[in-house]
Amino acid sequence: MKKRIILRFKKNTIDKPIVYKLVKDYNLIFNILRANISPKAESLMVMELEGTEANFKKGMKYLKGLDIDTEPMERDINRDENKCVHCGLCTSVCAPEALYIKDRRSMSIEFDYNRCVACELCVKVCPVKAMSVSFE
């Protein structure tokens, strides 16, 4: 199984070898997609974890035991369908092609949450603010 998750660290967990333990003790493969780590404040890491379902569950239990909040990444990424005018600007900056033109005739834009790395470039270029990424 492969999942993208958001980890929220409190100040007291910043000095723990968290990623090392996920690899060594739970045999999980990781890919850090984004990190904002600060020794004096709460920190955030977006990562993709891959491994067996049993090891993934054990890894999540380990993180909860350290008082690290975890959540699936897609909960913090939003697209307001009512605001989107399907201009296509977001597709020009989306390197992983999470935002793409589904139909060239209608210029219909699709959003594939599974490909998104939360880089926030789509948020910056969207003229109608249809995309939002919230880590708060």
DSSP string, 82-136: TT-----HHHHH-TT-SEEEEETTTTEEEE-GGG-----HHHHH-TT--EEE---
Residue 21 in this model has a pLDDT that exceeds 70: yes
Q: What is the pLDDT of residues 110-132, one digit of tens each?
A: 998 778 877 788 999 999 999 98
Asked if 26 and 62 touch (Cβ cutoff 8 Å), the reply is yes
Split at pLDDT 50, 70, 90, the class of 136 is very low
Cβ neighbours, 10 Å, residue 79: 18
What sign for the dihedral angle of Cα 46, 52, 56, 62? negative
Fold assignment, 2-74: Alpha-Beta Plaits (3.30.70)
Give ranges for CATH 3.30.70.20 in the chain: 80-133
Segment 87-102 shows an average pLDDT of: 91
Q: What is the pLDDT of residues 48-93, one digit of tens each?
A: 999 999 999 999 999 999 989 898 876 567 889 899 999 999 999 9
Q: Which of 10-14, 15-19, 35-39, 105-109 has the lowest mean pLDDT?
A: 10-14
Give ranges for CATH 3.30.70.260 in the chain: 2-74
Considering the entire predicted model, what is its pTM?
0.62
Architecture in CATH for domain 80-133: 2-Layer Sandwich (3.30)
The two tokens of residue 80 are 């307001």
